[in-house]
A and B are shown apart, each in its own frame.
Chain A
Amino acid sequence: MKPIIDVGIIHLILALILVLLVLAISYRERLGLERDLIIATARTFLQLFLVGYFLIYLFAWDRWELVLLTLIVMLSAASWIAVGRLEHPLPGARWIAVASLVVGSAITLAFVTQVVIQVEPWYDPRYLIPIGGMILGNAMTGAALAGERFQGELRSRVEEVETLLALGFSGMEATRDLYRSALRAAMIPTINAMLAVGIVQLPGMMTGQILSGTSPLIAVKYQIVVMLMITCAVALSSFLFLHLTVKRYLTPAHQLRRQLIL
């Protein structure tokens, strides 16, 4: 097998020519994106190198406490971002996000690493960190999408919900249609991704494995596991997140807290 080609620093800097092209378009068409683009490029370099060095040390130390700590930091960031997407802040949503991401991701991560891949030792950071990252990232997007969609639906269909409440339906019954459509909205992207996978584009992880010399067949098997686990983590986390947030919009007396949405 041929050795992996490392990208030299000089050549990496050459890749910046691609960004210069984008800059040229933005400048010529007066898109005003130059500043954002430069900052974004700088941050891409900085953040990824930091993560790279961090991973080197994490792999070298090889301690389960550090792996767990890293996962917790990733989780906090993910729940922070998920809740930040809500247009109207919802009291207590951060803890709901933490709880649903923990449960949704932990179940999936544990199952995939311990039962399917059978990682040895169980905390091997080479597996747990990247797989945990993929699970958390997707679970975060799913929960955020579900929460955002539910709030949006509630805002635009408030009269429908109040009509049902006025007829004597409970708060959960009155919001069931909205709940369903929010949960569907969160789950559909991953299902669509499974339908389309491999036809136009190879998924990032599989591409990475193939580039670094793994046999395509092994890469494919890993990719299948990844697709299934993402779908599961998204469904679990958005289901839990939504289930717990819906109640926040209602009082025990089945009153809609309109001040939270309007």
Chain B
Amino acid sequence: MHLVAANVKSTWIEYVNLRNKSLACYLNDCPSVSHVDEVLPFGGKLPWQAMTIEGKREPILACREVSGGYTLDAHREVLKAVSFQVQAGECLSITGPSGSGKSALLRLLNRFDDPVQGEIRFRERPLQYYDPLELRRRIALVLQHPVMFHGTVRENLLRRPNGGQLSESTLVQALADVGLDRSFLDRNAMELSGGEKQRLSIARALLGEPEILLLDEPTSALDARSLHLVVDTITQLNRVKGLTLIVVTHQAELIHRLGGRVLFLEGGRIVREEGAELAARLLEEHG
């Protein structure tokens, strides 16, 4: 029995290496690895649906022929038959000129808006299947301009739908995840710098223990120093915590550091898909 288990584990590791993912990230994504021995007798199938023993995985999120979306300036549908998939633990960047529908697309993924046509599936089920409030906790959107409420950082972190019943250590951990220390808890949230607010709004989203984090232009309004810190934070979330990320950005540095796939959106269509390195170079050359 233990031998079989070891074999399965090694298959995973191969798979993980194939996908260029760290083991830490992978174990985090599939926390039941330690229970493999108990699981195997059941026909060699693992308990979570999304994976088979061969390592073939269903996408965590899939857009099929999605049209619609809404932008403030256009007052019309922007996206036209957009299709793409995201695997768990992946990091996907979306870039393109302003008005191309990047933010509109992101707003469809947590059901801020519903598409006019096409379907979006999260863990193999259409988004409408889920309670919208629960969905927004699991697919957390961090908006472009971080909004802080009056009060301390602690009060801001505790402002959650089901009351603020989080332990001090949970809050400290959330701050640590975005590279802030516990001394921030008692600071006035309104007086933080732009970069600190941005990281705090990410920490706030993390407290809901999301499965996918959507980031809308997370570095657009930051000075160079804050930009590095926020880029570090975001990259760490994917590398260390194995969090699935979908990031809308036009910042070459962020794309480059994130790695992974990059979708180019133009006029509401995906016109190109590249690896991060080439994409970052293209962006730096052509702006």
Which A residues are within 8 Å of any B CB, using their own CB?
Answer: 159-160, 162-170, 173, 253-256, 258-259, 262
Given contacts A162-B143, A253-B114, contact A169 B133 (CB under 8 A): yes
Given contacts A168-B134, A253-B111, contact A163 B143 (CB under 8 A): yes
Given contacts A168-B161, A168-B208, A259-B70, contact A163 B136 (CB under 8 A): no
- For A167, give its contact among B128, B145, B160 (CB under 8 Å): B160
B35: CB under 8 A from chain A?
no
Chain B residues contacting A255 (CB-CB under 8 Å) are: 111-114, 132
Given contacts A166-B110, A167-B204, A168-B208, contact A159 B145 (CB under 8 A): yes
- For A258, give its contact among B72, B110, B147, B161 (CB under 8 Å): B72
B159: CB under 8 A from chain A?
yes
- Among B198-226, those with CB < 8 Å from A are 201, 204-205, 208
Check if A166 sits within 8 Å of B136, measured CB to CB.
yes
Scan B142-162; emit 1 where CB is below 8 A from any A CB, else 0. 110101010000000001110
Check if B132 sits within 8 Å of A253, measured CB to CB.
yes
- Total interface residues on B, CB under 8 Å, equals 28
Check if B143 sits within 8 Å of A166, measured CB to CB.
yes
- Among B130-183, those with CB < 8 Å from A are 132-134, 136-137, 140-143, 145, 147, 149, 159-161
B75: CB under 8 A from chain A?
yes
Q: How far is the CB of B181 from chain A (nearest CB, A)?
A: 23
Chain B residues contacting A259 (CB-CB under 8 Å) are: 70, 75
Check if A165 sits within 8 Å of B161, measured CB to CB.
no
Check if B133 sits within 8 Å of A168, measured CB to CB.
yes
Q: Is the interface of B mostly helix, strand, loop or mixed?
A: loop
Would you give 7 A-B contacts (Cβ < 8 Å), ordered by A? A162-B143, A164-B159, A166-B142, A167-B137, A167-B205, A253-B132, A258-B72
Given contacts A159-B143, A253-B114, A255-B112, contact A166 B133 (CB under 8 A): no
Closest chain A residue to B201, Cβ basis: A163
- Among B20-41, those with CB < 8 Å from A are none
Check if A258 sits within 8 Å of B70, measured CB to CB.
yes
Check if A170 sits within 8 Å of B133, measured CB to CB.
yes
Q: How far is the CB of B69 from chain A (nearest CB, A)?
A: 12
Q: How far is the CB of A233 from chain B (nearest CB, A)?
A: 33
Bound-state CA distance A159–B72 (Å) is 13
Bound-state CA distance A164–B201 (Å) is 11
Q: How far is the CB of A93 from chain B (nearest CB, A)?
A: 20
Bound-state CA distance A191–B169 (Å) is 47
Could you say which of A167, A169, A256, A262 has the most chain B C-beta atoms within 10 Å of its C-beta?
Answer: A167
Could you say which of B75, B142, B147, B201 has the most chain A C-beta atoms within 10 Å of its C-beta?
Answer: B147
Chain B residues contacting A173 (CB-CB under 8 Å) are: 161
Bound-state CA distance A215–B205 (Å) is 67
Chain A residues contacting B201 (CB-CB under 8 Å) are: 163
Chain A residues contacting B136 (CB-CB under 8 Å) are: 165-168
Bound-state CA distance A262–B140 (Å) is 24
Chain A residues contacting B134 (CB-CB under 8 Å) are: 168
Q: How far is the CB of A168 from chain B (nearest CB, A)?
A: 4
Check if B147 sits within 8 Å of A168, measured CB to CB.
no
Bound-state CA distance A10–B232 (Å) is 85
Closest chain A residue to B139, Cβ basis: A166
Bound-state CA distance A258–B75 (Å) is 10
Q: How far is the CB of B178 from chain A (nearest CB, A)?
A: 16
Bound-state CA distance A173–B110 (Å) is 18
Query: Contacts A167-B161, A168-B136, A256-B112 given; 19 further ones with Cβ under 8 A?
Result: A159-B145, A159-B147, A165-B136, A166-B140, A166-B143, A167-B136, A167-B137, A167-B205, A168-B134, A168-B208, A170-B161, A173-B161, A253-B128, A253-B132, A254-B133, A255-B112, A255-B113, A258-B72, A259-B75
Q: How far is the CB of A39 from chain B (nearest CB, A)?
A: 37
